[in-house]
Each structure stands twice: as C-alpha cells, then as structure tokens.
C-alpha cells in the first residue's frame, strides 16, 4: 500500500536579493519529517536485537554502526529506511533510530503514549520517491511483498517545483 505524504508542494521564487538570502531556508522547508510508530498489538512484547555483536546479516551497515555506538540503549525496536530506487533523497533520523521496548506491552491503558521515531526525508523535486522503512525486532515478521506487506511501511513522496508557474495557472 502506498502512503502519499506530500504532493504538489509549491515553492515560489523570483530574482530578488531577499531570495538569495533565504535559499537555505527553502532547502530546509523541502525536508519532510514523518513520525513512525509500531502497531499497537495488545500484549505483544518485542524481542529486541540487544546484542550489538549478533545482528542480522540483512540489516544495513549504517544501522549496525548506530546500534554499536548506542550500546547502553539496546532494548529497542530498531528502524531503518532506504530508497527503493536511488534518487538522491537524503534520509536522516533527527533524534533516535529506535522505539524503546519499555513502552511494551501495549495493554490499551488510558493515557498510553506510543513511542515514535522521527525520520526526515529531503527528496529531489519533480520525481516520485519510494521509501521503505522497516522495523527490526526478532519477532517482527518481515515480508517484502507489496500485496501482503509485513514489518515495514512504504512511503511515496513527490515534491513539485512550481517556480515557473504563474499565479494565474494555479
């Protein structure tokens, strides 16, 4: 299932000196931050990869390095995101790459706050971008299937550059 996050984001520009000063700001505005959370399954307890020396072979090297550098905080459901087709999208994790296992099991209690992982995407303009984000725990079943997905979310992004369109065309 595709999850469109942003579509037809308009960025207006002109040749004024003011724009030259705000170009870094515009680049920052193109970044899209998505918060990911795990489904709330009553009674489910994650079996975390909490041994930094025994991580799955298919786990990305950057996530393995992150886990090894955060050894005291290993009891987490780890998250990794990647581009399905390389297209210059920048993927960043502003705060953390894991959902703390302390929040589980979910028991449908009043006031429960589900843990989140923030992921920032900076995609190129005028291109469809497909990102896949996977949850990593020993008891999270991962299936690459698009028909019966499991253990991941697929995100579709499209940022349209409307700088050459006049206001009468909008």
Instruction: Enumerate helices (H) and strands (E) in the chain, giving the number of each.
Output: 2, 8
In a domain, 71, yes or no: yes
Structural domains in the chain (count): 1
In a domain, residue 99? The reply is: yes
Regarding predicted confidence, which is higher, 22 or 148? 148
The verdict on residue 34 lying in a domain is yes
Domain assignment present for residue 80? The answer is yes
Residue 111 lies inside a defined structural domain of this protein? yes
Model confidence at 150, in pLDDT bands (50, 70, 90)?
confident
Joined together, the tokens standing for residue 104 give: 């589980």
Any idea which residue has 């886990």 for tokens?
Answer: 67
In a domain, 166, yes or no: no
168 found inside a domain? no
On the question of pLDDT at 12 being above 70, the answer is no
Residue 59: domain span: 3-158
CATH code at 80? 2.60.40.1660
Share of the chain above pLDDT 70, in %: 79
Which tens digits make up the pLDDT trace of 27-85? 344 577 777 777 778 888 899 998 888 899 999 999 999 999 987 788 999 999 999 98
- Identify the sign of the CA torsion 58, 62, 64, 66: negative
Say yes or no to pLDDT of 7 above 90.
Answer: no
Residue 128 has phi, psi (to 5 degrees) of: -75, 135
Average pLDDT, the chain: 77
């Amino acid at each position: 299932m595709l999850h469109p996050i942003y579509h037809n984001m308009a960025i207006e520009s002109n040749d004024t000196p003011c724009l030259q000063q705000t170009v870094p700001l515009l680049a920052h505005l193109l970044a899209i931050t998505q918060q990911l959370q795990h489904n709330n399954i009553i009674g489910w307890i994650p079996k975390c990869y909490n041994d930094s020396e025994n991580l799955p072979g298919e786990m990305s090297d950057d996530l393995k390095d992150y886990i090894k550098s955060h050894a005291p905080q290993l009891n987490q459901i780890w998250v990794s995101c990647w581009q399905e087709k390389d297209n210059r999208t920048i993927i960043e994790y502003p705060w953390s790459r894991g959902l703390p296992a302390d929040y589980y099991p979910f028991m449908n209690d009043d006031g429960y706050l589900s843990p989140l992982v923030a992921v920032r995407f900076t995609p190129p303009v005028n291109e469809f971008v497909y990102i896949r984000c996977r949850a990593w725990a020993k008891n999270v079943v991962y299936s690459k299937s698009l028909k019966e997905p499991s253990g991941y979310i697929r995100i579709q992004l499209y940022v349209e550059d409307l700088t050459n369109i006049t206001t009468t065309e909008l």
